[in-house]
Structure 1
Amino acid sequence: MAILRRTVLLGGLTTLMAGCAPAAPPKPQRIDGWGDFRTRFVQPDGRVIDTGNRGISHTESQGYGMLMAEAAHDRDGFERIYGWTQRTLARQDDALYSWRYDPSLPVPVSDPNNATDGDILIAWALMRAAQRWKVPAWRTRAAQIRTSIRLLLIRQRGRRTLLVPGLQGFLHPDRTTINLSYYIWPALDAFRQADGDAAWGPVIRDGEALLTDARAGPLALPTDWTDVFDDGRALPATGKDPYFGFDAIRIPLYLSLGGRPEMAPTIARFWHSYADQNRPIPAWVDVVTGATAPYAVSEGGCAVVRRLLGSAAPPCAASGQPDYYASVLKTLATL
């Protein structure tokens, strides 16, 4: 179910700070680059194309597109993207979404499994849009998605309450595989505000604890994927590269957006070891061996570094015209 990142570009996903208090709509925000992003990646029917991944679409791309359109006050764009998402990816048995649309397949939506981060993004975007444009149906749909996430994707492993990445493929007899970059902290905080601490507090608090417990290797960094065991251990996931890389770079970003930058001290220390010497930060590092990517993060990755460190970033990877993933992160970085 995981999206294959074929690009070495790491855009800088920054703020959709988004208080979702019922009393007031989100504050007006400016978003640079949305017009270009919509022209290049959003089809007229609302499908957001991942150009770095064989032209597929997925709930991540649709959710990010909805968030950017809302932040840009682009109701037409929002309605097109949400409309395509609902028509094409909505599951029949719950309020979740099938994670992938692949136009090269005879049946483009061939995998009914969901991707929890995509569902979270869609629900959060709907909450924001419902407040901005006063559409009760969007608020209702967001509540339905949150309910399905709570009932189907929050699971116990030992004493921990975990956010499972998808309905299928992550629950094993001896462990649960999670992705800490799926914990989109400002969205989860908005969900708790809407539904109460009893609904979301346990998964939020245990997720925060995992940010410490899942640090691995001499550098004490989190990996893209983590296995959580009954006895409480959190280790790099079996069968996956033990990288702090293309997924995990969103961990400090979401922490920063969610007002928790102090929960990423080892990441800050690792990045400082490069930034303080004006050396390019590698796009990934193997937390076990210390081996690093032979290329640096892009401007977007450097934007994440700047946000966490509060300082100028070191040299970044030069790039031509960025693909979908780099562009979405770079566009959101302008908020």
Structure 2
Amino acid sequence: MTRFLSFLFTLILVFPQASKGDDGCTWEVFKGRFVSPDGRVIDRVQENLSHSEGQGFAMLLATRHNDPGAFDLVWRWTRNNIQARKSDALFAWSWGERSPGKWGPIDLNNATDGDTLIAVALFEGAACWKKEEYRAYALEIIKSIQEHLVVERNGRLFLLPGYYGFVKNNGLILNPSYMIFPAYTIFAKYHEPGFWRKLRTDSLDILSKCTFTRLELPADWVFWGPEGPSVYADKNEVFGFEAIRVLLYLAWDHNIKALSKMGRMLDIVDGLGFIPCNVNLARNTVSLDEAPAGFYAVFARVAAEIGEKDKSRALWKKALERLALEKDNYYSFALCLLSKIDLKP
């Protein structure tokens, strides 16, 4: 409790607007803009699609804002529409208009971060509102994660990004942003603690080897082969849209050591005058396109975690300015809200 109160005090100091609720970056605004009346979280930038990740984000935010009605609404839509796989409790990662006028799952493969976020939210919803059925659903999900999405190589546990397509003859395709470290501590409270603690330890070790260039930034996608990890250029070569969440989840984990290394990016931001939307880790170059509000919010949280309070306030101010211009960007808005919260094991 002391640790949580200390964290809350830090957020109020660094994000003063967040404590007043008058900055436009609120759960109520997010709900009104992106959550449909039946509980679907809509990505308006990407053809009104919905993703398991977005459903998990919304459920987790509902627990943080003590909104059991919204939580149950989003969970019911999630369960009824994307928990559509026959052989496990995982979720189809993408849902939308499959053909004109016909809506449903577009890809039945899962996205492991979405499954993880939904399970965490269900555990927290059960604790918040004393609803044991949420915990039962969460247990089924994490058992499926353990059975289908974790592989062992040379004594290490690796988390696969999805059920299908990520195990190759000569190695594994990994997405560092799918490793949500404090989630495994939560899972260990309810199911096979030895397994989840090892997954957490191994995931942090794997991440430490999946950072590149002198900035020590994680890649969106990594190939782990016989010679170790490398940027997976078949997907992309950047720290960007995906890997920004690595910093968020390390902040939730209060991992100051890792954040201090990755926080070197803040010096580049000072020099550029803006946050680039990506850094090419193969060519060691930065994009000249400015990142959306959510990136500023995540880096504001990173700066706060490593003690750069003035820098954090300036980045948060910039996040709010950009957010006001991003009316349809669900992902950026979600990152802003998620940067304000903690994930309590």
From 41, 59, 81, give the equivalent of 1:66. Answer: 59
Q: Distance in 2 between matches of 1:223 and 1:129?
A: 32
What residue ranges of structure 1 are gaps of 5+ in the alignment?
A: 1-16, 18-28
- Tell me if structure 2 keeps the 8 A contact 1:157–1:176: no
Q: TM-score, normalised by structure 1?
A: 0.85
Q: Distance in 1 between matches of 2:338 and 2:260?
A: 24
Give the SS at the match of 2:331.
helix
What is the identity, as a one-letter code, of the residue corresponding to 1:223? Answer: A
Q: Encode CA deviations 1:190-224: one digit per residue, 9 max, x unaligned.
A: 11232243221222111111222112234332200
- Root-mean-square deviation (Å): 2.3
Identify, as 1 or 2, the structure richer in helix.
Answer: 2
Summarize the alignment of residues 126-205 of structure 1 with structure 2, pairs less than 5 Å apart: 126-205=122-201
Establish whether residue 261 from structure 1 lines up as the match of residue 266 from structure 2. no
From 82, 94, 107, give the equivalent of 2:75. Answer: 82
What is the identity, as a one-letter code, of the residue corresponding to 1:77? Answer: A
Q: Distance in 1 between matches of 2:122 and 2:159?
A: 20
Give the SS at the match of 1:128.
helix
Q: Distance in 2 between matches of 1:230 and 1:201?
A: 25
Q: Distance in 1 between matches of 2:212 and 2:260?
A: 13
Cα distance, 1:30–1:159 mapped onto 2, change above 3 Å: farther
Establish whether residue 38 from structure 1 lines up as the match of residue 44 from structure 2. no
Summarize the alignment of residues 1-335 of structure 1 with structure 2, pairs less than 5 Å apart: 33-90=26-83, 91-105=85-99, 106=102, 108-231=104-227, 233-275=228-270, 277=271, 279-310=273-304, 311=308, 312=311, 313=314, 318=322, 320-322=325-327, 323-335=329-341
Could you tell me which residue of structure 1 aligns to residue 12 of structure 2? none
State percent identity of aligned pairs.
31
- Tell me if structure 1 keeps the 8 A contact 2:81–2:104: no
Q: Distance in 2 between matches of 1:209 and 1:181?
A: 14
- Tell me if structure 2 keeps the 8 A contact 1:117–1:184: yes
Question: By how many angstroms is 1:334 displaced?
Answer: 3.4
Question: By how many angstroms is 1:297 displaced?
Answer: 2.4
Q: Encode CA deviations 1:210-257: one digit per residue, 9 max, x unaligned.
A: 2221122343322000111245x0111141221011111111211111
- Tell me if structure 2 keeps the 8 A contact 1:114–1:167: yes
Q: Distance in 2 between matches of 1:128 and 1:191?
A: 11
Cα distance, 1:278–1:170 mapped onto 2, change above 3 Å: closer
Question: By how many angstroms is 1:30 displaced?
Answer: 9.8
What is the identity, as a one-letter code, of the residue corresponding to 1:321? Answer: E
Identify, as 1 or 2, the structure richer in strand.
Answer: 2
Larger RCO (CA within 8 A; separation ≥ 6): 1
Give the SS at the match of 1:109.
strand
Give the SS at the match of 1:102.
strand
Q: Distance in 2 between matches of 1:327 and 1:305?
A: 14
What is the identity, as a one-letter code, of the residue corresponding to 1:225? Answer: W
What is the identity, as a one-letter code, of the residue corresponding to 1:58? Answer: H
Question: By how many angstroms is 1:300 displaced?
Answer: 2.5
Q: TM-score, normalised by structure 2?
A: 0.83
- Tell me if structure 2 keeps the 8 A contact 1:220–1:287: no
Question: By how many angstroms is 1:80 displaced?
Answer: 0.7
- Tell me if structure 2 keeps the 8 A contact 1:46–1:83: yes
Cα distance, 1:77–1:172 mapped onto 2, change above 3 Å: same
Give the SS at the match of 1:103.
strand
Give the SS at the match of 2:269.
helix
What residue ranges of structure 2 are gaps of 5+ in the alignment?
A: 1-6, 8-18
Cα distance, 1:42–1:253 mapped onto 2, change above 3 Å: same
